[in-house]
Amino acid sequence: MKHLLRYLKGYEKEAVIGPLFKLLEACFELAVPLIMAHVIDTGIRSADTGYILAMGGVLVLLGALGLACSVTAQYFAAKAAFGFGQALRGDLFRHVMRLNWAQQDRVGASTLITRLTSDVDQTQAGLNLALRLFLRSPFIVAGALAASLWIDWRLGLVFLAATPVMALVIFGILRLTTPLYRAAQKLLDRLSLLTRENLAGVRVIRAFSRQSEETARFDAAADELRALQLRVGRIAALHNPLTCVLVNLAILVLLRQGAFAVDAGRISQGDLVALVNYMNQILLALVALATLLVSFSKGLASAGRVCEVLAEAPAFESPAEAPAPVSGAARVAFENVSFGYEGGEKELEQISFSALPGQTVGIIGGTGAGKSTLVNLIPRFYEASEGRVLVDGVDVRALPFARLRGRIGLVPQKARLFAGTVASNLRMRCPDAPDEALWAALETAQAADFVRALPQGLNSPVAQNGRNFSGGQRQRLCIARALVGSPDILILDDSASALDYATEAQLRRALAKDTSGRTTFLVSQRAASIRHADTILVLDDGRVIAAGTHDQLVHSCAVYRDICRSQHIEEGL
């Protein structure tokens, strides 16, 4: 938690004022038993109604002041805690966005979501309670002990004996439950993963009639979480009964010994009542402290999980400045590039090629050949293990992310749209793009006709993940989004798989009509999609086994020839 205290910056005043007002409230509370002792010893003994009413007024005043201090403390503590939570959540989200794809894959999307939501909330709640009660409860205990010793040191020994025993019970329970809370958060991660998988793959589950099996998996995970939480609950439930028994036993001892002290004239009846009240105050303070520590232990467990993500340093940073492009260099070049995912074998090995401005490069190969991995190295989503990837003669590792990716239009395999409007999705690369540029991109992507047919045109709503559009429409909108702003490098990663052959042919012709010096990479399983490319790279098991035009490859590359034959593409076409 101490590593996260920097997120209180800007709320230092609130973080100090909140506990201070809680201490003032505690002072008013500690004064109540002493005033009650005077009421009993002076007002009631002498039947002085005026004195009783006066002291009653003082008690009401102390109660009002305590309430005002409590509300003030709650306000400032909540303000500091929510400010802390906002800063932590924002920084954690920005940090996750800086992690490369390999790191995000290793941590896992489901656990990142849990840590961004549940864990940050638990940490925020723990801090809120700490600001309100962390000083107040120990101050009440210490003040009650001091007051009891001041009233009568012999009876104060009962407090000195009972308080450590109660504290031992509380902290023993806390020590047992803290690791279980951490385990519960991990089970919550697993439950989130199952939920995410089932919601994302609900159509597949229904298509194979696997609803009952997936429900059983979810129920098993939920039951495991419930069993662990019940186990924690049973242990935590021992707290109140045990502490209440200890306090009542202490009060019995206090009343017995106090009766002898009153009879001997060592203390007054009011002092004995005050001692009993102080014992009850210690009980309430320890119960509140236990509640704080339980919440704080949850917060600590969650804070540790948040710190684990924050400690995951980005594998590579964005340089501050970019070298000047090399005149006459290829737009994109690979020099003996090899790459392997973390903990796995090499996916790409010794890849070398160059692509000039205005050139179209087709990439084809079997499933798992490394086609998508290759193009993902260009925007530096992953970093080459060996060799160099160059853009305009400059190593991509020397280019700032914004400058590098600002020149690239990417359409990934899975077409993904964001909730908003058609226009807001198209303007992701270029926020200031005019409507004319959007329509031009839609025309090239063969999406203008169906967008014009929408009731609100460019302002038509897009549902989450674009579920109000068909698969082909989503792909065409994603292609149009990549074209807005005229990128220097266009990467189409199997982005026409949902298009019919006629629409795909129209798309290819439109892309070839106005290249404007753009270098285009076409990744596809279809030979027909890349056959007109200037250069075709044939990948097999992470290696470029052949490169050339369609006509050259059908005669010189057996793998490419087999692909063409399997797709009924004649060699002479």
pLDDT at residue 333, rounded to an integer: 92
> Which residue is associated with the tokens 């070398």?
352
Residues 256, 129, single domain; the answer is yes
| 53 within some domain | no
Tokens of 403: 């400058």
- Burial annotation 231-264 (CB, 10 A radius, 16+ → b, else e): ebeeebeebeebbeebbeebbebbeebbeebeee
What's the CA gap between 523 and 521, in Å, rounded? 6
What are residue 266's phi and psi, to 5 degrees?
-75, -35
Residues 555, 492, single domain; the answer is yes
Residues 285, 337, single domain; the answer is no
Query: Which residues touch 42 (CB under 8 Å, ≥6 apart)?
Result: 48, 51
- What's the CATH code of the domain at 424? 3.40.50.300
pLDDT at residue 421, rounded to an integer: 92
Residues 180, 230, single domain; the answer is yes
pLDDT at residue 1, rounded to an integer: 59
401 within 8 A of 349, measured Cβ to Cβ: no
| 32 within some domain | no
pLDDT at residue 572, rounded to an integer: 44
Residues 140, 219, single domain; the answer is yes
Residues 279, 359, single domain; the answer is no
| 36 within some domain | no
pLDDT at residue 515, rounded to an integer: 67
Residues 136, 257, single domain; the answer is yes
pLDDT at residue 573, rounded to an integer: 40
What's the CA gap between 255 and 261, in Å, rounded? 10
| 404 within some domain | yes
- What's the CATH code of the domain at 180? 1.20.1560.10
CA distances from 269 to 148, 265, 274, 317, 388 (A): 14, 9, 9, 73, 88
Chunked mean pLDDT (size 10), the chain, 573 residues: 77 87 86 82 79 86 89 90 89 83 71 82 84 80 82 78 80 79 80 82 84 90 90 81 81 81 79 81 76 73 80 74 81 91 80 90 86 90 88 89 88 87 90 90 90 90 86 90 89 82 84 80 87 89 89 88 79 43
Residues 253, 304, single domain; the answer is yes
Residues 480, 546, single domain; the answer is yes
Q: How many domains does the chain have?
A: 2
Domain of residue 444: give its range. 332-566
| 535 within some domain | yes
What's the CA gap between 270 and 353, in Å, rounded? 94
Q: Please, what sign has the CA dihedral across residues 552, 555, 559, 565?
A: positive
Residues in the chain: 573
Residues 287, 407, single domain; the answer is no
Tokens of 479: 């292609």
| 44 within some domain | no
pLDDT at residue 480, rounded to an integer: 92
Residues 303, 341, single domain; the answer is no
Q: Write down which residue in 277, 310, 343 finishes a domain.
A: 310
| 401 within some domain | yes
Residues 275, 385, single domain; the answer is no
298 within 8 A of 181, measured Cβ to Cβ: yes
| 292 within some domain | yes
> Which residue is associated with the tokens 């002493």?
34
